[in-house]
Chains A and B, each alone.
Chain A
Amino acid sequence: MRMGSAALEPQFRRDRFGFLLRQGETGQFGASSLASDRVARHAGPREGNNQMADILGPGAKAPDFTLNVTPDQRLSLSEFLGRRVILAFYPADWSPVCGDQMALYNQLLPEFRRLGAELVGVSVDGVWCHQAFAQHRNFHFALMSDFEPKGEVASAYGCYRQQEGVAGRALFVIDEKGVIVWSYLSPLAVNPGADGILDALERMSGPEKADVDSASARNVA
């Protein structure tokens, strides 16, 4: 297997600190099946609301709901009235693509808050699973459990996948009055990224500068 080691400066093979450069790149390359596992990540259409486009669209009132965010704490969408909400449905905690998606959003929390928006993740996983997932990944936003009756909230937003028994990868941006201003359904295996969310938030008029930071501190799972 051709690898790039030939391009390395010979003096970097092993430095005086004992840093060894990879000699056996075959080992590294042998793991490339890992990389191909993620091929599907990018596949499929991204623009607009595609197939299964029965998710709620712009102009629809966002259905209110109350779900557990921690084993002993429940949260309602209506508590966010007066603030913008990004509702991110995803299929499952721990699956690699969701991990990436939620890790990206976690990283973007300051940007979302700058644009006046709160982030909430929703999946059918149970509260303890959410708690372990959020702790493991250092998430600083709420993960809600659409657990019992299973998928009820995802169904209300039109993104429940009966066959797999999970929420589809749907995004909703909801305005201060609880109205959906943008939504997008990504194919199950595709991480939709954050560009659509940020574009949608920027198209909205300037954020009503609610006290988003202190409010969101309360909602951390």
Chain B
Amino acid sequence: MSTLRVPVTSLDHVQGPEDAPVTLVEYGDYQCPYCGLAYPVVKAILAQLQGRIRFAFRHFPLTEAHPLAETAAEVAEFAGEHGKFWPMHDLIYENQHRLSLPGLFALAGALGLPQVEMRDALGAHRYAGKVQADFMSGVRSGVNGTPSFFINGVRHDGGYGYPELMAGIEQAMMAEA
């Protein structure tokens, strides 16, 4: 059984209350089409279980397969520094089918982020260390592809369609109760 080796901390991007009975962690890649499929599923589950679930997203960019994944992750981190991680996260997935470098800058513009500063941050790979730390924490926890989910620290070995992911979460909730 693979378990999350690095617990969710304040360094993570988190939605939902800290004392929620269930913590869902996703390791994802912004250019991975399967993550794109999982995105609305996670959204729906978070809406459904609002107040009872905490969600953290960690980067797992497979850059050789997805040349924009690393940059997109760094863009999300940049947005995070300006308090807009989740809006950027959502925008990237919602525009995944047309992901491009100019497009990422356009998304930053749409969120009112300083684009020149973003260019410099990307150029200096200011967030590469954070992204790599996420990636390695995933590898050491048994992430073998994206998306990979952990429910209360245990890797979810089922699928990530709504029914399967929801079933895994409900099971964890019952175990907590």
When the two chains form their complex, are residues B144 and A104 in contact, meaning their CB atoms are under 8 A apart?
Answer: yes
**With an 8 A cutoff between CB atoms, is A34 at the interface?**
yes
Contact call A191/B145, Cβ cutoff below 8 A? yes
Contact among B1, B40, B103, B155 with A19 in the assembled complex (CB-CB below 8 Å): B103
- What residue in chain B is nearest A33 (Cβ atoms)? B161
A43, A138, A192: the one within 8 Å of B144 (CB) = A192
A106 touches B159 (CB 8 A): no
Q: From A3-11, A63-71, A124-132, A175-183, give the one contacting chain B.
A: A3-11
Closest Cβ of chain A: how far from B175's Cβ, in Å? 19
A4 nearest in chain B by CB position: B43
Q: What interface size band does chain B fall in?
A: 35 or more
- Residue numbers in B under 8 Å from A21 (CB-CB): 91, 94-95
Contact (A111, B136) CB under 8 Å given A16-B110, A17-B106, A34-B34:
yes
B44 with A4: CB separation less than 8 A:
yes
Q: How far is the CB of B16 from chain A (nearest CB, A)?
A: 13
A interface residue numbers (CB < 8 A to B): 2-9, 12, 15-17, 19-22, 25, 28-29, 31-32, 34-36, 38-39, 41-43, 46-47, 97, 100-101, 103-104, 106-108, 111, 137-140, 191-195, 198
> What 9 additional pairs, Cβ within 8 angstroms, besides A29-B40, A193-B142?
A2-B47, A2-B162, A3-B44, A4-B44, A9-B87, A15-B106, A36-B164, A43-B157, A100-B145
